[in-house]
Structure 1
Amino acid sequence: MGWPAPPSARTSRLQASNVPCVLWALLAAGCHGPGPRKDSLGSCFPPLPHPGPGEWTPWGSWSRCSSSCGRGLSVRSRRCIQFPREELCWGDTHEYRLCQQPDCPPGAMPFRDLQCALYNGHPVLGTQKTYQWVPFYGAPNQCDLNCLAVGHDFYHSFGRVLDGTPCSPGAQGLCVAGRCLSAGCDGLLGSDAREDRCGRCGGANDSCLFVQRVFRDAGAFAGYWNVTLIPEGARHIRAAHRSRNHLALMGGDGRYVLNGNWAVSPAGTYEAAGTRVIYTRATGPEETLRAAGPTSEDLLLQVLLQEPNPGIEFEFWLPRERYGPFQAQAQVLGWSPRQPQPREVDPQPLESPTVIPPRTPIPTPEPCPPCPDTRGRAHRLLHYCGSDFVFQARVLGRVRQAQETRYEVRVQLIYKNRSPLRALEYVWAPSRCPCPPLGLHRDYLLATWRLISPDGTQDRLLLPHAGYARLWSPAEDSRVRLAARHCPL
C-alpha cells in the first residue's frame, strides 16, 4: 500500500511524506489519533491531507482612472489557482481605489446625467414612444441607473450605473458593482481603514500623546491672558468655557485670528495655521473652539477676561517627537509666554476745589541732554542680533511715568520675535528723556528686549538707552533684512 504522490507544484505536501516514523511517533504519541497511521507491516505514514484554500496570483497593475475629470476609480485584479479537492481562495478578485483627476470644467455634464442621456430618443418600455431622460434620485437603490422621463411623472431603471459613478450629488461614495462604497484612509473603496487621533491610517493612537488641562488663572486685571501654546503639528484641538469671557487665537506672526484687539469676532469658520478653526458661541455663556489640524505653525490661545475666570478646558493631540520640546517651552514660559499689560485710561483732571490754595511755583524740568550718535552698520547689527524683538510699529501715544517713558505702539510688520507679539503693545524706555526719542504718529523700526521682573508680575518690551529706533523707510527695511543674514545662529 503506497502513498500517492501529490502534484509536483505542491512540494510542501511531498515533504510531509518523508518525515521519519520516529518523529511522527514523538509528535502523535505512538502513531494514533489524528497523527500518522500504521499499515499491516507496522510502517508509519502521515494522515490524508485536508483540502485547503487555493493560491492567488500576484495583483495586476492598476487600470487607468475611470473618469477624465474629477473623482473616479482604478481597478486591479488577480486570479485564483485552485487544485483538485481544494477550496476557493479567500479574498476578492478585484480591488478598487480612488483616483483624482483635475476638476471638471464649468458646465460639464455629470457622469450619471450622461448615462441617462444615452437613452434619449430611443424607444423603451416595449413601445415606440421616446423620451428625454434625467437622473432620478428617489429610487431605493442609488447605484441603479434610475432615470426620470422629462415632462412625465415616472422613472425607469436601466440597470446598474457604470462603476465609478457617484452614489448621489455631493456624496463621497462611488458605485462599484451595484453597491455604494466609500474609501478608507488607504484610498481603497470598501476599506474600513480609518485614521487614528495621530493622523496615521489604521494606527492605534500610539504615535502621539494627549494633552488635556484646565486653565484656572483668575487674572489680576481685565484684558488678554495667555492660556496655552498650541504647537505645530497639533490635531483635534478643542477649547471651551462657560463665562462672559472670550477665547482669542493668535497666529505665529503675532496677528489675531479671532477676538483680537478688544473686538469680538462673529461665530463661524476661520483659516489659521493650515487648518480650519470652528468658533461657536451659544446664546448662553458657553463658547467653544475646535480645529481638526494638523497645524502648520504654533498658535497662541488667549482669553479676553471680563469677569473672573471659571476655568478654560483645552485639549489636543501632539506627535510624540514634539511633546518634549512643547513641555520644555511650556516650563520656560510658565504656561504664560508674555502677559500683556492692562489697558489703562489716562487720569482725568479733578474738579476745581471750592477753596483755591495759594499757588506754589512748579519746578521747571531740566532740559533733556542730547542723545548719543547711534548711526552705523555696527550699531544696527549689535542691536538686531542681540534683541528679542525687531518690528515695524507706529507710535500711537506717549506717557511719562516717574523715571520711565511708555509708548503705545501698533505692530505692523515683524522681523524677529522670540515670543508672540500683539497688534497693540507697550514699549518702555528707562528714562523720562529716552534716547532716541520717538515721535507720535510716525513709523519706526524698533529692536527691543524682553524684561521680566524677578517676581514675575511685570513682563515688558524694553527699548534700551541709545538703542535701535530708526524711522521706517524702504531703504531701512532693506538694511535690517540684510542685518538678519549676519547674525550668528
Structure 2
Amino acid sequence: MIPTAQMGQLRPGEAEWLAPGHTGRPLTLWKLLLLLWTLLNCGLESSAQGPGEWTLWGSWSRCSSSCGRGLSVRSRRCIRFPREELCWGDTHEYRLCQLPDCPPGAMAFRDIQCALYNGQPVLSLQKTYQWIPFYGAPNQCDLNCLALGHAFYHSFGRVLDGTPCSPGSQGLCVGGRCLSAGCDGLMGSDAREDHCGRCGGANDSCLFVQRVFRDAGAYAGYWNVTLIPEGARHIYAAHRSRNYLALIGGDGRYVLNGKWEISPPGTYDVAGTRVVYTRATGPEETLRAAGPTTQDLLLQVLLQEPNPGIEFEFWLPRELYGPFQEQTQALSLSLRQPQPLEVEPQSSEPNKAPAFPTRTPNPTPDPCPPCPDTRGRAHRLLHYCGSDFVFRARVLGHLRQAQETRYEVRVQLVYKNRSPLQALEYVWAPGRCPCPPMSLHREYLLAAQRLVSPDGTQDRLLLPHAGYARPWSPAEDSRVRLAARHCPV
C-alpha cells in the first residue's frame, strides 16, 4: 500500500492547479498569483502611464499694443514622467485687452510690420521696394505686403500676434489664425452672453416679454404702446402700416417721430444704448436696440390709419418684471399723449391748502342770450366744406375768459383735417357766451378752422360764432358723411 504522503496529499491551506499536459507537481495558489503579477507587470512597463499635470497659470503679460485693441498672454508648463503622455490643453492663453483709441493718423500695426522691410533687398540683392499691406491673399494672418507702385505682393511669414485680421475686423491673429474673443475675453473662446447679459448663461435670470399692441385708434394722434423699462435688452418693435413708431426718452423728450415731425432712418443714442430705426420703401418700420437701457423708454405710435398690430419684444431681468407690470397698469396705455394742464394761482394765505390743477373750473355762469338757429342742410354743408377740421370730440372741460371760451376736448374720430390733430386739443370759441354752446362730458361733431397769429406764436382751433357743433348721434354721423360728397375738391 502506497503511503498517503507519497500520493501528493494536500495540506490544509493549499490548492492544486495542473496545466494542460502537465504531469509533474501541481502549482500552489500563491505561485499562480505570482505568475499573473509578473505577466501583468511586464505588459504595463511597455505602455504609457497617462498624461502629465499642468503647473498653475502664470500672470498676464502687458498688452501687446499701446492703444486700441491688443493681446495679453499667460503660460503654464507640463510636468510629466518619462513614460507619461503630454498634458492635454494649451501652453498659452490669450486675452483681449482694450486700451483708449489710437490718435488720428497713427500708423496701423500691420502697416508698421510691412514698413520694416522698406529699403531692404528681399527678392534680389540689389532691388529694394516700399511695402504696404495687401489684404487679397488667402491667409489674412500672413504678413502679405504689396510692393508700392508694382503689381505683386510678397509674404513675409506670419504677422505678429495681436494684429487685426483685416481693417474693421473684430478678430485678431494669434499663432497664424484669426480668432475672436468670447464674452470672457479669451481669444478663441466660444463663451457667449445669453439674452440676460450673463456670460455663458442659460437665459434663466430674465424673462422674455413678447406682445402685440392691437388697439385700433379711431382718430389720428399719438397712442402709448408700451413702457420699455430700465434694464431691458434685445428690444425689437415692428409693424406694417402707414403709421409711425415714436420713442420718448427718460427725460420726457421725443427721440423719434415726435411733435408730428417724421425722423429719418438711422441710429439714435438714447438711454445708454443705440436705437436702430429703419423704414423700408414699403409700409414696414422696425426699431431695434441691444440694450441694456439705463432709463425707462416709452414706445408710442403716431396713428394715421387703423392699427393692424404692432409687435414688440424685449428681455427683462426677473426682479424687474413685477415693477414693469405695475408701471404699465399705472400708465393706462389706452390713453393718448396728455396735453399740459394749467395750474390755478396759489393763494398767499399761509394756512390755506394749495390749489390743484383742474380740468373743469366751474365759475358761476352769467346769463347768456339765446343762440341763432343754425340747423339745416345748407348750414351743415357750408361749414363742412369751408372748415379746416371736422371731427367728433368729447368735451372734458371749459374755461370762460373775458373775450373767449376755451374747450378742452378729446378727439374721437376725424372726418376731415388739413393738418394732424392730437389726442387732446383745445378749441377756442369767441366770447364768454359761445354759440352754439357745448356741455361737459358730451360728444359733439365739430367743424373748426385753423387760426395762426401773424407772428406765428399761436396756432389755434377756432369754433366760429354760430358755427357747427352738433351733439353726436348715428344720424348726425350719416349726415356729415353725406355732406363730404358735395364739397368741391
TM bin (shorter chain): 0.5 to 0.7
- 8 A contact 2:131–2:148 mirrored in 1: yes
Per the alignment, residue 117 of structure 1 pairs with 115
1:178 partner amino acid: G
Evaluate the alpha carbon distance shift between residue 192 and residue 53 of structure 1 in structure 2; reply closer, same or farther with a 3 A threshold. Answer: same
- Alignment equivalent of 1:159, drawn from 133, 157, 178: 157
Alignment-derived partner of residue 82 in structure 1: 80
The aligned amino acid for 1:211 is: V
Quick check: 1:101 aligned with 2:99?
yes
TM-score by structure 2 length?
Answer: 0.63
TM-score (normalised: structure 1): 0.63
Is 1:241 aligned to residue 239 of structure 2?
yes
1 CA distance for matches of 2:181 and 2:203?
Answer: 21
Deviations 1:28-49 (A, max 9, x none): xxxxxxxxxx853769999878
Q: 1:163 to 1:373 in 2, by over 3 A?
A: closer
Q: What displacement does 1:330 show?
A: 2.1
2:203 is the counterpart of 1:212: no
For 1:80 and 1:134, the matched residues in 2 are separated by 41
In the TM superposition, residue 176 of structure 1 has moved relative to its aligned partner by 1.0
1:247-294 CA distance string (max 9 Å, x none): 111112111111111111111111111111111111111111111111
- What SS is found at the alignment partner of 1:279? strand
Count matched residues.
341
Q: Give the corresponding residue for 2:174.
A: 176
Match of 1:316 in 2: 314
Q: Where do 5+ consecutive residues of structure 2 fail to align?
A: 1-28, 359-394, 409-421, 434-455, 459-489
Taking only aligned residues, the RMSD between alpha carbons, in angstroms, comes to: 3.5
Letter of the 2:221 partner, please give it.
G
CA distance in 2, matches of 1:132, 1:81: 47
SS of residue in 2 equivalent to 1:40? helix
Does residue 91 in structure 1 map to residue 82 in structure 2? no
CA contact (8 A) 1:223 1:342 kept: no
Name 1:224's counterpart in structure 2. 222
* C-alpha deviation, 1:373, in angstroms: 6.3
Map Cα deviations across residues 410-446 of structure 1 (whole Å, 9 max, x no partner). xxxxxxxxxxxxx997699xxx89xxxxxx979xxxx
Shift of 1:101: 2.0
SS in 1 for 2:114: helix
- Per the alignment, do residues 199 and 243 of structure 1 end up closer, same or farther by CA in structure 2, a change over 3 Å counting? same
2:280 pairs, out of 253, 268, 282, with 282
Counterpart mapping for 1:127-166 below 5 A: 127-166=125-164
Query: Quick check: 1:339 aligned with 2:330?
Result: no
Corresponding residue for 1:186?
184
SS at match of 1:313: strand
Separation (CA, whole Å) in 2 of partners of 1:125 and 1:402: 92
Structure 2 distance, partners of 1:377, 1:180, is 75
**Equivalent position SS for 1:219:** coil
1:12-59 CA-partner distances (Å, limit 9, x unpaired): xxxxxxxxxxxxxxxxxxxxxxxxxx8537699998787222111000
Task: Report if the CA contact (8 A) 2:397-2:407 is conserved.
Answer: no
Instruction: Say whether the 8 Å CA contact 1:112–1:165 is kept in structure 2.
Output: yes
Question: Structure 1 45/139 Cα, relative in aligned 2: closer, same or farther at 3 Å?
Answer: same
Specify the structure having the higher radius of gyration (Cα). Answer: 2
Confirm or deny: 8 A CA contact 1:406 1:426 kept in the other structure: no
The DSSP-based 3-state class of the residue aligned with 1:90 is coil
Shift of 1:214: 0.7
Using the alignment, how far apart are the partners of 1:373 and 1:165 within structure 2?
Answer: 69
Does residue 297 of structure 1 match 2:295? yes
- Map residues 13-28 of structure 1 onto 2, 5 A cutoff: none
Q: Which amino acid aligns with 2:347?
A: T
AA matched with 2:277: Y
Q: 1:310 to 1:124 in 2, by over 3 A?
A: same
Deviation at 1:328, TM superposition (A): 2.0
Cα distance between partner residues in 2 of 1:195 and 1:209: 15
SS in 1 for 2:322: helix
Specify whether residues 373 and 313 from structure 1 end up closer, same or farther in structure 2 by C-alpha distance, changes over 3 A only: closer
Q: Is the 8 A contact 1:214 1:312 kept in 2?
A: yes
| Aligned-partner SS, 2:31 | coil
Q: Give the distance between the partners of 1:116 and 1:39, measured in 2 at CA.
A: 75
SS at match of 1:112: helix
Partners of 2:218 and 2:306 within 8 A in 1: no
Q: Which residue of 1 aligns with 2:391?
A: none
The aligned residue for residue 31 of structure 2 is: 40
Cα offset for 1:129?
1.2
2:323 corresponds in structure 1 to 325
Give the C-alpha shift of residue 84 in structure 1: 3.3
- The sequence identity of aligned pairs, in percent, is 76
Q: Deviations over 1:321-366 (max 9, x none)?
A: 1111111222333444x423699xxxxxxxxxxxxxxxxxxxxxxx
Matching residue of 1:62 = 60
Render the CA deviation track for 1:91-122: whole Å, top value 9, x for unaligned.
11000011122222222211111111111111
Question: Is this contact kept in 2: 1:273–1:298, CA < 8 A?
Answer: yes
Change (3 A) 1:123 1:235: same
